[in-house]
Amino acid sequence: MDTIHLKIITPKKVVLDEEVKTVSIPTFRGEITVLPHHTHLFALLVEGVIKIRKEAVEDYLAIGGGYMETDGRELHVLVSRAYGQSEIDQELIQKSIESAKKILSQSKDRNERIQATAMLRRSLIDMKLIKKRKAPRSVS
């Protein structure tokens, strides 16, 4: 079976470095799925959830914005942040969603609102990631 070498790198560390079968990534123009032997591609990424499929296991990672590049054999994903389901806490996210909404409904300061919007967007993505976990992890 053909595989593609996936590398997910953030400014802090290399998050993932392994052979996988397919990767679905949220780009600037919508979600794309990269398979082995993909044509050369460079794309701008937006915040969202990456879906990685190995043999029979699916894995999800929440990412910040960044870039991806592939040549069919290797897929490099450079993002501002990336973490898996085990690294986030549902309660904390719920709290941050609430506080972001509160700020948005009350504050009139422009900077504060921008920050709160960004926080809300990030938290919603994290929530999405948590919900994915409830889906069956192995696919036959």
Partner 1 sequence: MNIRQVRNKIRSVSNVRKITKAMQMVSAIKMKKAQQLAIEGQPYRNDLERIITRVVANLDPAFSPLLSRNPAAKGRDLIIFVSSNKGLCGSFNFNLFRYVVKNVEFGKTDFVTVGKKGASLVGKMGSQIIADFSTGNSVDSVSAIFQTALMAFLDGKYQQVKLVYNRFINTLRHEPTETVLLPVKLQPTEEDKKEKEINSEYIIEPAPETIIDSLLRSLIEEKIRGAVIDSEAAEHSARMIAMKNATDNAGDVIYNLTLLRNKIRQEKITYELLDMITAKESVET
16 closest CA partner among 93, 68, 56: 68
* Separation of alpha carbons 68 and 8, rounded Å: 9
| 3-class DSSP state of 59 | strand
Between 90-106 and 110-134, two packed helices, what is the crossing angle to 10 degrees? 150
* Separation of alpha carbons 27 and 33, rounded Å: 10
Subset of residues 18 to 37 that bind partner 1, contact rule: CB under 8 A: 27-29
Site membership for partner 1, residue 42 (CB under 8 A)? yes
Among the residue ranges 10-18, 54-62, 87-95, 127-135, the one whose residues contact partner 1 (CB under 8 A):
10-18
Site membership for partner 1, residue 11 (CB under 8 A)? yes
Site membership for partner 1, residue 110 (CB under 8 A)? no
Please return the burial class of 100, using the count of CB atoms within 10 Å of its CB with bins 0-12, 13-18 and 19+.
buried
- Candidates 2, 37, 44, 87; binder of partner 1 (CB under 8 A) is 44
Site membership for partner 1, residue 98 (CB under 8 A)? no
Among the residue ranges 5-13, 54-62, 111-119, 132-140, the one whose residues contact partner 1 (CB under 8 A):
5-13
Among the residue ranges 38-46, 53-61, 111-119, 131-139, the one whose residues contact partner 1 (CB under 8 A):
38-46
Nearer to partner 1, 65 or 84 (CB): 65
